[in-house]
Structure 1
């Protein structure tokens, strides 16, 4: 079975981040993983804290009906509450638990949000450099990625963002901290 021509084109022009990751894998084989510092993807190069492993063991050992069932669509209420409390303290603005939706990763979250917000032809504006997958996420839901330059120190250039806004701009995507 053949795949869609559009997807063939995407695969053939895979992102430079993915190419760097693949090249990094080859360099690790050649020179040893300890001698190659791969900054291509967001894969951590450090082990998790010991407490993280302890909590995972506790969760695995949990027994009883529903102990390992699906969570509510928006996430566990107690986790949403903890995140809301943290963000309220960190950002200095009120965040309610109902304002928080938990997902399995940023890609899933962005695709859900863009599906809910975009109509065909709507624009998603983001400063560059940005994660190259944003263009695919916008395209998945009929949107178009538009970009605005950052300042030389990679901080937001609000004038450039403002100048790039159009009547079709539906989403301004700010990734903080930007990777």
Structure 2
């Protein structure tokens, strides 16, 4: 390794997901069920609001914490949901930016951060970058949280719990009891909860119950990317106790500076767009894929949110199964990218019905091997 390269880079490898994306670019007609972003076009009203802001010369820096109208609109929504006197909103450069700010603010070298396996790929890498230690709690086979395991994993070094619901890669929606349990354990042991709620809008069996409903110290990470199909716009937001948000705002000033200003104005307009029809469409796609997998004999936990399913490979390792699928031009993601185990694989149903049906045809053939 080059002598100039810092040790923190060792915590990051080229994402296995990115490698699948690179494969897709080389294929003529792949069956792409790999990508974790909505496939619907951005609603016209949102595009027009972005163009209007650009033409109105709203192209400079915004306030670090976000443009005032958007921040006030988000604050009113958060206040109505939680009623916490001390909860403050910060507009960020994507939810990934929000996660970076949260971990930079909270984690000292050697501090432990709990997450649940399988987990979003960034959690261990970002924790390592701030010299923290990730502690993974296994949630197989149903991907629900055993609160006794959580309490057993808490040590004097534990600083935070990373909680993600609905979850990537499993699509599992945590129960109210799990959210309450995480909130109460964190309060009991005086540790932070970072609740990653980027898929909040994609819930198919009731609404998301946040740990913030039970613990007013919870830090919530949310965003616009998935809800409105604007993943490339890099806009998120977070909210939490004012003292912590003030520190994160200061760190944002010296890192990301601010979110892109014209796109913040577009998000203000987006909050008046009804996205429920899009969510309903994804529910139907979820049902189509889930029924097809189960009919073919796949073992799969119930995904009640996001736009992923996480089946168990019917033979071999998850990686071996995915390699065979890719050889048949079906692009899916091996589960070991998200997990200590190599037994499952992730499918995204953010795709057309035709693509899902083509994928199911390949998966039915693979199941019979």
- TM interval, shorter chain, is 0.7 to 0.9
Q: The residue matched to 2:82 in structure 1 has which SS?
A: coil
Please tell me whether residue 36 in structure 1 is matched to residue 25 in structure 2.
no
For residues 22 and 121 of structure 2, the distance between their equivalents in structure 1, rounded to whole angstroms, comes to 16
Match of 1:172 in 2: 161
Match of 1:4 in 2: 5
For residues 109 and 144 of structure 2, the distance between their equivalents in structure 1, rounded to whole angstroms, comes to 30
Residue 169 of structure 1 and its aligned partner are, at CA, apart by 0.8
Please tell me whether residue 146 in structure 1 is matched to residue 155 in structure 2.
no
Cα gap change, 1:8 to 1:165, in 2 (>3 Å):
closer
**Do the aligned residues in 2 keep the contact of 1:118 with 1:170 (CA within 8 Å)?**
yes
For residues 159 and 78 of structure 1, the distance between their equivalents in structure 2, rounded to whole angstroms, comes to 43
Cα gap change, 1:97 to 1:146, in 2 (>3 Å):
same
Moved more, 96-105 or 141-150: 96-105
After superposition, where does 1:9-24 map in structure 2 within 5 Å? Answer: 13-24=13-24
**Do the aligned residues in 1 keep the contact of 2:8 with 2:129 (CA within 8 Å)?**
no
Query: If the length of structure 1 is used for normalisation, what is the TM-score?
Result: 0.78
Cα root mean square deviation, aligned: 2.7
Match of 2:319 in 1: none
The Cα offsets for residues 101-149 of structure 1, whole Å up to 9 and x where unpaired, read as 1111122111111111111100111112111221121111111111112
Residue 56 of structure 1 and its aligned partner are, at CA, apart by 1.0
For residues 15 and 8 of structure 1, the distance between their equivalents in structure 2, rounded to whole angstroms, comes to 13
Cα gap change, 1:115 to 1:155, in 2 (>3 Å):
same
After superposition, where does 1:94-173 map in structure 2 within 5 Å? Answer: 94-95=83-84, 99-150=88-139, 152-173=141-162
Residue 171 of structure 1 and its aligned partner are, at CA, apart by 1.1
Aligned mate of 1:46, from 40, 43, 68: 40
Residue 8 of structure 1 and its aligned partner are, at CA, apart by 7.3
**Do the aligned residues in 2 keep the contact of 1:77 with 1:97 (CA within 8 Å)?**
no
Uncovered stretches (5+) of structure 2, i.e. residues with no partner: 169-369
Match of 1:84 in 2: 75
- The structure carrying a bigger strand percent of its residues is 2
Uncovered stretches (5+) of structure 1, i.e. residues with no partner: none
Aligned mate of 2:56, from 62, 68, 92: 62
Query: If the length of structure 2 is used for normalisation, what is the TM-score?
Result: 0.41
**Do the aligned residues in 1 keep the contact of 2:11 with 2:128 (CA within 8 Å)?**
no
For residues 169 and 116 of structure 1, the distance between their equivalents in structure 2, rounded to whole angstroms, comes to 15
Match of 2:62 in 1: 71
For residues 59 and 150 of structure 1, the distance between their equivalents in structure 2, rounded to whole angstroms, comes to 45
Residue 168 of structure 1 and its aligned partner are, at CA, apart by 0.7
Q: The residue matched to 2:91 in structure 1 has which SS?
A: coil
